[in-house]
Amino acid sequence: MKTARVKGEAKEYRIGKILCIGRNYADHIKELGNETPERPVIFMKPASSVIGEGEEIVIPPYSSDCHHEAELALLIGTGGSDIPPAEALGHLAGYGVAIDLTLRDVQAEQKKKGLPWEIAKGFDTACPLSDFVPAGAVADPQALTITLSVNGVKRQDGSTGLMIHRIPELISYLSSIFTLEPGDLVLTGTPAGVGPIKSGDSVVAEITQVGRLQVSVK
């Protein structure tokens, strides 16, 4: 059983659905040559894909092009459906640092065939995740700096203020499709600068006011 912890709180949340948002930063859309969507692009990862601080990423043998994507993670504390945007932030228990790992070669091949691409996003170790800070500790979740470095070299450096679909809108939209439950996670998209990782790499993602996450590649 995978759990999420909020710093300073005794309670742990059993991780449920991991709802991920694609194409939510304009510069990242451009770097991958994708079209800007009218509505949020949603995909999912299983809870079994989560690893924590200091653990190892294992790139599956069916891929030779695994990419990092640093993201702000939201932890749902109070469930609901059809949540109005004005009430959305009140449903959060905390904010965390996540790395959405993508097997870019596998994803491209699946897309070309018109097939789902969960095997490129949901493999074991595909979701490194930090502990969470209480939601009340972050004054403005749309004013946070996201960075990611590989072997000490910075690759990603962006701001949550650049999101196309902002956090209240995302929670409201997701809750109109899926009933959100305590322990569900939302990964809010990645800024530009994604790139490959390989065996032996050390990966560090940081978000101001939220935390730091370091993992290595086996």
Alpha helices in the chain (DSSP H): 26-32, 104-112, 167-175
Q: How far apart are CA 120 and CA 142, in angstroms?
A: 28
Q: Tokens standing for 211? A: 């935390």
Q: How many CA atoms lie within 13 A of 47 on its CB side?
A: 13
How do the domains of the chain map onto residue ranges?
3-217
Query: 37 near 203, Cβ under 8 Å?
Result: no
Q: Look at residue 216 in the predicted model and tell me its pLDDT.
A: 98
The topology under which CATH files domain 3-217 is Fumarylacetoacetate hydrolase; domain 2 (3.90.850)
93 in the Ramachandran plot: left (φ > 0), alpha (ψ -120 to 50) or beta?
alpha
DSSP H or E stretch at residue 72: strand 70-76
pLDDT for 27: 78
- Distance between CA atoms of residues 72 and 96, nearest Å: 6
Q: What is the pLDDT of residue 37?
A: 79
**Rounded average pLDDT per 10-residue block, the chain, 218 residues:** 95 97 84 80 97 98 98 98 98 98 97 96 98 98 98 97 96 98 98 96 98 98
Residue 102 · residue 23 · CB < 8 Å = no
Rounded Cα gap, residues 2 and 115, in angstroms: 28
Task: State the pLDDT at residue 151.
Answer: 98
Other beta carbons less than 10 A from residue 39's beta carbon: 8
Res 201: pLDDT: 98
Q: What is the per-residue pLDDT for 26?
A: 79
pLDDT score, position 183: 98
Question: Each residue of 25-74: pLDDT tens digit?
Answer: 877 767 777 777 789 999 999 999 999 999 999 999 999 999 999 999 99
